Each structure stands twice: as structure tokens, then as C-alpha cells.
Structure 1
Amino acid sequence: MTDLCDRSAVELRALMRRREISPVELLDSCLARIEAVNPKLNAVVALDAPAARAAAEAAEALFRVGDGVHPLTGLPVGVKDLNETKGLRTTFGSPLFAEHVPAADAGVVRRLRAAGGIVAAKTNTPEFGAGANTDNAVYGFTGNPFDPMKTCAGSSGGSAVALATSMLPLCNGSDLGGSLRTPAAFCGVVGLRPTPGLVAKSAPAIPTAPLSVEGPMGRSVADLALLLSGLAGADPDDPYSRPLETAPLADLQPVDLGQLKVAVSEDLGFAPVDDEIRSLFRARLAGFRHLFRDVQNRDPEMAEANRVFEVLRSIGFLAAHLEKVERHPDKVGANVANNVKLGLTFTARDVAWASKRHGEIARDFTGLMEEVDLLIAPGASAKPFAKGESYPAEINGKPLDTYIHWVAISYGLTLTGHPVLCLPCGLDADGMPFGLQIVGRRWDERRLLSIGAALEAALAAVPGCARPLPDLARLMT
């Protein structure tokens, strides 16, 4: 099955500019796919088709006159339900906001619209993004497009599923401890956790602690780069943000992979990783390591990363959600409430230690990245599990410390402040997607994405390493 909505965002943009297709035709194709597939997956949770069609008609008029066309003009975009959208229901996955219709857009949504994107739908997320499984009391579970009874991970699960099934050509996500990367790995799409500040956040709870970032998701590196060009930019509310460099982020340059020096780590030296994931990572790496000039097994220095992330993450939850938990304890879910309670147990000494150790981890990693071009690690520590489970209770028979310990392979990289690209790399033995994390140098997303595009093209020719596609016909039955 190949419909208009299945084409890449880059191709669709070119077709609309040549007026070979119209934005209205593209939107109709996306809406038809949503109607056919979403009932089984529950990825799209709020939709205003009339408003989207009006925006598509306005975009069509721009193409007719050839003036006022922007990078994303005419392209439908899915917005994670953590970002407020003017006139379109935004719940944050919380009963407290079940009927909330914002009067204004969040900053990231304003930039999307300014770049010409058509905000067509909201995508599902766990309550306030807390949890690595996409489920909430407002909308329920989102299933994996390769097996709807398994998790798509979280918290950007709705966006990953909408992309994998071509319900939408582009979607945004956000990432604290892997919220964008793990869904990308579990659903066979591409995601980028950018350098903090590249995509400005609107009024972050703790502006000086940039662990959580906004980022783009797509079906290819080129599509993702196109979306990033519309998302990136400065905002006075975000002290880490800064104006864009002169070179467009979507202007990817040819890269000779054979000139690159690469570090490889199965577990970052500390993260629990399922033995099957380790074996598969080694096998996939064996199929493409010849593409690089030099590949070395090298773990970054991340001692005590679990404790550092636990403290800093909980303090963030305190800042963002303490008042909600105190005022409405019956309407706040366990993930959010427990993180707030945990944050209240930490002392100023704990926070000072975690902040200091965080700086040490980040500096050590910067030193490593001065010696190599990339670090490659598995996209996730575990395989997709049943969607009714909040998290895997154990890995390799060993109980996990906390409900987020299974994403340590992701949150360890969060602490480094470096950009991380998640690339699909075939299927596992159960027919579920497998992904890679590709880490680049800070503030050099253009270089990382150029490398990612070259690696993506090379992997497509390596047996078992191409981007997998779900069986859409089975999802429509």
C-alpha cells in the first residue's frame, strides 16, 4: 500500500512547490490514514479537521502565487499533547486538563506555524510525560504499530506511532530520559534529542537545568532535518536558547563515513541491557562497522549516573508538579506523585552533589567526543513489552531499581548535553524494530544529521539493517 501520505516530507514539499499535488490532497490522505489505522493504535488523540483544512487551503493559495512559502508550508504536523495548541484540546494526559482548550500556542507550536506547518493533530503521551509507556487516564494506551498489544514506549509514543504508520509526515516530541529516543527505537522511526537550547522551550520550570528538550521526529533523517529547521530558534523564556547559525539545519552535506572514528558502547558502562539486545547490537554492528575508518569499544565515564539523574529528575518534578499533587492528590497519577514525593526526600546536600557530579560526567564525555566523531549505543535496553505493563520489572533476571531504570541507556546520554540521533536498524527476532543511538558533538547537529543521513543510506543496503515498515493492512482489519 502506497498513498500520498506514505511519501517523505521532503518529497511532498517538493511536489507541492511544483504544484503537482495540493496541500488539501495531502491532508485528505493523512486524514484517511488516521481514520483507517488510528482506531487500533490510539496515537492521534485530538483532531480539528476543519481548521486543518482551512490551513491547507491557505497554503494552497500561497503556492499558487508563489509568495510567502516557508520550509514547512503545506505539511501536516502532529504535536505532542504536552505542547499547548491554540483552539485544539491539550490535556497533558491529565484528568486535571481533560477539557483544556488553550487560548494561545506554546512557543514550539508558534514556530511550527510560522514555518508554515499545519498543526493537524495532537499525539498521545503519558500524564505530563512521566513514564516510558504511552498511557494516561484521559485517552488510554497507544499500541505499537508492529504489534498493537505491545508498548510503543514513551513519552513521545503517539508521535512515533503516527509517523511509523504515515498518519502524519512529521511530528514533534520531547526528551528527558529517552522520551523521544525510545519510542523512535521501538517504532522504527528517526528521532533527535538536540543540544539543550537548540529548540527553545517555553517557560521551563527550571530554566537553568536543561535536562528536558524539545525535538523533531520523522521517517528519515532528511525529513527530521526539515522539521528541525522549523522548530529551532531562540526564545527569551529559555536562557539556553540561541539564534540559529547561518547554515540551514536542513542543508545536509555529503559525508564520507570511511573517514570517521567511532566509539561503540553496549551499555555506557553502567546501564542494564538485555542479553538479547547486546547480542543483536553486536551482530548489527558487525554488518556495518567496515563503513568507518576506525571503530573502538569504549565506555564513557558515567559512575553514579543513576543517582545523579534520579535526584535532578525528581527536583524537576517538584518544581513542575508539587502544587498539583498537594491540591489534587486524587487526580494525579502514580508516576508524577511518586516522583514528587521522592524529590521531597532529597536534601540541599543531595542536590549540590548531583549537580556537581553531573558537571563531571558532562565534562568527561566532552573529552571523549574530542577524540572521536561519534559514539554508537543501542537505542533501548529492552525489547518492546506488553502495553499494559508500565515498565519491565527486571532485565536478565535482575530486578530494576526504579521504574525508569530500564531507560538508563538513554538517560545516561541525557546527562552529557550532547545531541543524540536515534536511527532504525532492522527488526529483532520477534519482528519488532531495533534502533541505534548515534551521539555527536554539542551544537553540531548539522554535522550529526549529515552523518546520520549517510549512515541511513548505507544501512538500507546492509542485510537486516534497513528501516522496517509495519503491516498496514493488518492494522486496518
Structure 2
Amino acid sequence: MTENDLLWLPARELVELQRRREVSAREILDAHLAQIDAVNPKVNAIITLAEDRARELAARADAVAARGELLGPLHGLPVAHKDLAPTKGIRTTYGSKLYADHVPDHDALVVEQLVHAGAVTVGKTNVPEFGAGIQSTNELFGPTRNPYDLKLTAGGSSGGAAAAVATGMVVIADGGDTGGSLRNPATFCNVVGLRPSVGSIPMWPAKDPFAPLSIQGPIGRTVDDVALQMSVLTRADPRSPWGLGDPSRFRAGLEYDFSDVPVAWSPDLGGQLAVDDAVRTAMAPVYDALTGISGKVGVAAPDMTGADEAFRTLRGWYRALNYGDRYAAAPEAFGTRVSQDIEHGLATTSAGLMRAHRLRGQLFQRFAAFTGTYRYLVTVTTQVLPWSADQLWPERIGATRSENYLDCMRSMYWFTVLGVPAVSVPAGFTQDGLPVGVQIVGRSGDDIGVLRLARQIERALGAGLRRPPVAVRLGGGDTGGMRGGGTGGTRLTC
């Protein structure tokens, strides 16, 4: 078993190797820490390294394995947590100058769940300020760079998480998704990101525990790695009204016969979306793959009228709810993206809020009717390719000019409004070697069905097997990484 093997094996295989005592959690951790040293200074995905905490957790995992037991489904797997999730004793900045030296006294529930299941925390991943953006950059740490082209962005807001997983620095990562923050960086970094159904994953802490837009979810290199995390993250918790009572469905396997299942294909949602030509071209093999999976593939799309207004109104209102007090006290400490969102929310009237909820209800009913005909919708994940890491958003989507960072996220946040499961899975590459993902959307609550179809597409296309050149180390790679004083992040003693 080489160090390189330990970086790229699927999650379940790594756990099984530990169960058979063929490899230790500490050996797995050492391989990933060496990868962080070699790669992170280039991509800037992990912005706070918690090596001491990681070694404690790996030693705990090995002690349990020595007794012939496992801590849980994620035993000994290195994981990094999004810098929007509080981590006890580990710096959590939210990408904001206001929290540059903030060290929480508690873990977010998502962190508790992963660690309780045996995962080994190695650090925190980069985000835009308070998660507002499709480009993971902030004034504290700068941008996370795309591992397939370091001049370009890794996306956001879970860009650090996706880049860390794509480059073998961690096996799995947690993220969050409001307008596409799990799905966008997944497609840009050639990994898998799932926005689960509203209600499937409990969240704590939260100002409004019933809020339906921002939810947490998993990122992994394979659909199976994502399903494994869902078997942990969906367990109910009394601090949240959400969560499944029995998450065992995600441990039941992903094999399924879709030959008689109706599937809709629409790369631009029937002309409702502007999509770059290069994205369309890279997605071309998807249709043929689908026809090999289902004998009932049709070209069709749901009517998404009203999704824009509903999402932007509700998103601004929730931004104001979460950050309005701090913004009122120190508006100069907030960047442009967050300020615009908060101001939009503060200006929302009760009539505007009622209209947004009415539009949302109508959208949901139309989509429910659509999925009565077509069980699943397969469409574009992101309308654009990765752009310069020095720009907050792309200037254009095809021939359409972008006015703000939300304009190129419609393909994702239109489904956020519906609260349904949506997963991005690698689909192909452009002529310049940039990855493109495809999005699978299903009925509310059918997260396992969406993952099963994603697994079939993943297997048919094989795009996720292609590794970014920056992640391949020959002869040991660089030595000037984070633990050696590199600029990619900070080592903490935990």
C-alpha cells in the first residue's frame, strides 16, 4: 500500500483496510498531511490546519481498531470543515475580518456528526465572506484556486472544500448550499456535491432552525463517498427540527435498474437559461449515457417562472436575519457582496415576502407535476466555466452580461427554491481541460434515488477518474507547505 494509494482510494475501502488492520488511521493521516504540504500552497484550499487535533483523533481511531472495533462508517477518514461551521478550539473566521481570530467554544452539529462517526478533522476550508459568493475568496486568505488551472477560481462558497477533496488533501469534506455552494465548486473541481432535500440534514447552531434555503451537505470524489456521508449527516438531533429518524437507506447500496424510469434531459431548461457554448459541448456525451441507462429519456423541462424573484427575495431576507445586527453596528467591515445581500433583505416588505412565498408554492406544485411525468431531471450544473481567480464573478454567460454573482447561479438556485435534492456529478472536460458537471434533480425526499442515478451517470462517463495535475506528486513533491511555514494557512495547536 503506497502513500499515493491512500490518497485516492474510495472512502469505504479505506475504512475496510483499517478494519482488517492492513493500514492505520495514522498512516492515512500522514499521507494526507504530506499532500497538504505539497499541494495546498498552490491551491489555498485549507486555510487553517489543525494537525495536533488530527493526530489525537487518528490515535483514537487506531486504539479502537486495535480492539477489533470501528468508531463508525467514517473511521479514520481525514475530513476538512467549511470555515462557516464553528469548530471547538479551532479558528473559525467565516471569511470575515470581524472574526479573524475567532476560536469557538463549540462544534457545529455537522462537525460533531462527522467526528462521532470516526472522521479525523485536519482543518478548515476557504470560503467567501459569510458564504456570499460563487468565488471562494476573502480579505483574510485570498482566493482558492482551481486545481485544473491555477489561474482560475475553484468556485464557491464551498470552493475550499471541493478543491481539497479533488487534490487528495482530504477524503471527504462538508459544505453548505444556498444558491449552489455545494454544486458549483463540485463541477469546477470535478468532484461530487449534493444539496440534500430540505429537512434531511439537521443543522445547529442556527438563528432560524426552520430556514429552508441554506442547508449543509457532503462533498466527495465519488457518489458512493457522498452517500456514505449522508448515512451519518441525516441522523436526527433534538437541537434541530430537521433530520431523518433512520438514515440507513444511504447504506443500502446504490445499484438500481433505471431502464423503465422516465428521465428528462434539458441542458438549458428549454431555453430558460443562458449557457456557455463550451459548457454545452462538454456536456454532449451525457445524453447518450442517459439513453444507455433509461429507455424513457425525453427532452423536457419544468416551467421555472418566478424562481428568480422568489429566491432573491428570500435569500436577502435571510441574510438580513443572520447578519443585519452586525451590519448595523459595523457596515464598513462587510464586503460588497454581503452588503448588497443584507441591504436587499432589509428593504424587503411584508408584501414582497408574501409574494415570494406564493411564487415558491406555485413553483413547487409545477415541479411536482413535472416529476409525475419524468421522475428525474438531468440538466447543467453551472452555466459557465471557471473564470479568473481575481474576479468575483464572470462578466458574461454566453452572450448575456452578468450584473452580479447571482446571475450565473440560476441553474442551481432555481432548484434551491424548490427544496428538492440536486447533485452535481462530473460529466466531461472542455478542450482546455476544464471540468464540467451535470446536475441531477429529483422529487422532494428522494435523495437516494438522485444518488443512484448519479452513480449510473458517473459509471457511464468516467469523468471523475481524471485527477488534476497539481495533485500528482512524483518523488515526494514540495516540502515548503503549511506545516513548514507556507502561506496556504495556519497551524494551530489544539
Give the residue type in structure 2 aligned to 1:439.
Answer: V
Q: Whole-Å Cα distance in 2 between the matches of residues 223 and 68 of structure 1?
A: 18
Match of residue 108 from structure 2: 106
Distance 1:14 1:207 in 2: 36
Give the 3 Å change call, closer, same or farther, for CA 145–454 of structure 1 in structure 2: same
Q: Deviations over 1:24-51 (max 9, x none)?
A: 0000000000000000110011111112
SS in 1 for 2:373: coil
Distance 1:253 1:394, change over 3 A: closer
**Secondary structure at the residue paired with 2:4?**
coil
- 1:340 matches 2:342: yes
Q: 2:470 aligns with which of 448, 452, 472?
A: 472
The residue that corresponds to 2:328 in the other structure is: 326
**Closer, same or farther in 2 for the Cα pair 1:429/1:284, shift >3 Å?**
farther
Superposed CA deviations along residues 9-68 of structure 1, whole A, max 9, x for unmatched, are 111111011110000000000000000000011001111111211110110010110235
Q: Distance in 1 between matches of 2:177 and 2:448?
A: 19
1:256 aligns to 2:257 (yes or no): yes
Secondary structure of the residue that 1:200 maps to in structure 2? coil
Give the 5 Å matches for 1:54-65.
54-65=56-67
Structure 2: distance between partners of 1:256 and 1:474 = 36
* C-alpha distance in structure 1 between counterparts of 2:140 and 2:379, whole Å: 35
The one-letter code sitting in structure 2 at the alignment partner of 1:88 is I
Alpha-carbon deviation of 1:474? 7.1
State the Cα deviation string for residues 159-182 of structure 1 (Å, max 9, x = none).
100011000001011100100100
User: Is the 8 Å Cα contact of residues 301 and 377 (structure 2) preserved in structure 1?
Assistant: no
Q: Distance in 1 between matches of 2:290 and 2:181?
A: 27
Task: Using structure 2 for the length normalisation, give the TM-score.
Answer: 0.92
- Specify the alignment match of 2:51 in structure 1: 49
Question: Which one of the candidate residues 210, 214, 226 is aligned to 1:208?
Answer: 210
Offset of residue 268 of structure 1 = 2.8
Letter in structure 2 aligned against 1:251: A
Q: Is structure 2 residue 395 aligned with structure 1 residue 393?
A: yes
Deviation string for 1:408-452 (max 9, x for gaps)?
000011112111111001211221001000112222222322232
Q: Number of aligned pairs?
A: 472
1:120 corresponds to: 122
Q: Distance in 2 between matches of 1:466 and 1:168?
A: 16
Unaligned 5+ runs, structure 1: none
Which one of the candidate residues 351, 362, 365 is aligned to 2:364?
A: 362
- Tell me, yes or no, if the aligned pair for 2:194 and 2:423 is still in contact at 8 Å: yes
User: Residue type matched to 1:337 in 2?
Assistant: S
Secondary structure (helix, strand or coil) at the match of 1:174 reads strand
Report what 1:268 is aligned to: 269
Shift of 1:253: 3.9
Shift of 1:234: 1.8
Structure 2 CA distance for partners of 1:474 and 1:459, relative to 1, 3 Å: closer
Alignment of 1:124-135 (within 5 A): 124-135=126-137
What SS does structure 1 have at the residue aligned with 2:405? Answer: coil
Aligned-pair Cα RMSD in Å: 1.8
Report deviation, 1:287.
4.8
What's 1:26 paired with?
A: 28
Mark the CA change 1:88 to 1:375 in structure 2 (over 3 Å): closer, same or farther. same
Amino acid at match of 1:304: G
Matches of 2:110 and 2:286 in 1, distance apart? 36
Q: CA deviation at 1:123?
A: 0.7
**Deviations, residues 213-271 of structure 1 (Å, cap 9, x unaligned):** 100110001111111212122233432334225x3413214212323211112223433
Deviation at 1:303, TM superposition (A): 0.6
Q: Secondary structure at the match of 1:155?
A: coil
SS of equivalent residue, structure 1 residue 173: strand
CA spacing shift, 1:399–1:253, aligned 2, 3 Å: closer
Aligned to 1:164: 166
Q: CA deviation at 1:283?
A: 4.5
TM-score, scaled relative to structure 1 = 0.95
TM-fit CA distance, 1:135: 0.1
Pick from 195, 198, 219: which aligns with 2:200?
198
Q: Which amino acid aligns with 2:469?
A: D
Cα distance between partner residues in 2 of 1:3 and 1:138: 34
Find the partner of 1:435 among 427, 434, 437. 437
Which residue identity lines up with residue 55 of structure 2 in the other structure?
A: R
Which residue type is aligned with residue 350 of structure 2? A
Match of 1:456 among 458, 469, 481: 458
Structure 2: distance between partners of 1:329 and 1:20: 55
What secondary structure is seen at the aligned counterpart in 1 of 2:291?
helix
- Report the Cα distance in structure 2 between the residues aligned to 1:415 and 1:188, rounded to whole angstroms: 25
Letter in 1 for 2:367: F
Higher relative contact order (CA 8 A, sep 6+): 2
Post-superposition shift, 1:356? Answer: 0.7
Match of 1:7 among 9, 18, 35: 9
What amino acid is aligned across from residue 316 of structure 1 in structure 2?
Answer: Y
Paired with 2:468 and 2:254, the residues of 1 have a C-alpha distance of: 30
1:285 maps to which residue? 287
After TM superposition, the structure 1 stretch with the greater mean CA deviation from structure 2, 344-353 or 259-268, is 259-268
User: Within 2, Cα distance between the matches of 1:46 and 1:175?
Assistant: 21
Q: Is the 8 A contact 1:424 1:467 kept in 2?
A: no
User: 1:183 corresponds to which residue?
Assistant: 185
The correspondence for 1:349, drawn from 351, 360, 367, is: 351
CA distance in 1, matches of 2:6, 2:243: 36
Instruction: For 2:451 and 2:303, locate their aligned partners in 1 and report how far apart those are by CA, in whole Å.
Output: 25
Mapping for residues 380-419 of structure 1, pairs under 5 Å: 380-419=382-421
Distance 1:396 1:404, change over 3 A: same
Return closer, same or farther for 1:248/1:65 CA change in 2, 3 Å cut-off: farther
Q: Distance in 1 between matches of 2:357 and 2:274?
A: 23
Q: Which structure 2 segments of 5+ residues have no match?
A: 479-494
8 Å contact from structure 1 (residues 222, 250) kept in 2 = no
| Cα offsets for 1:353-396 (capped at 9, x unmatched) | 01110111112112212222211011110011101111112222
Change (3 A) 1:304 1:473: closer
Worse-matched range after superposition: 111-120 or 280-289? 280-289
Q: Describe the SS at the equivalent of 1:404.
A: helix
- The letter of the residue matching 1:52 is A
Compared with structure 1, are the counterparts of its residues 367 and 237 closer, same or farther at alpha carbon in structure 2 (3 Å cutoff)? Answer: farther
Shift of 1:473: 6.2
Over residues 59-108 of structure 1, what are the superposed CA-to-partner deviations in whole Å (9 max), with x where a residue is unaligned? 00101102353111211111101101111111111111111111110111
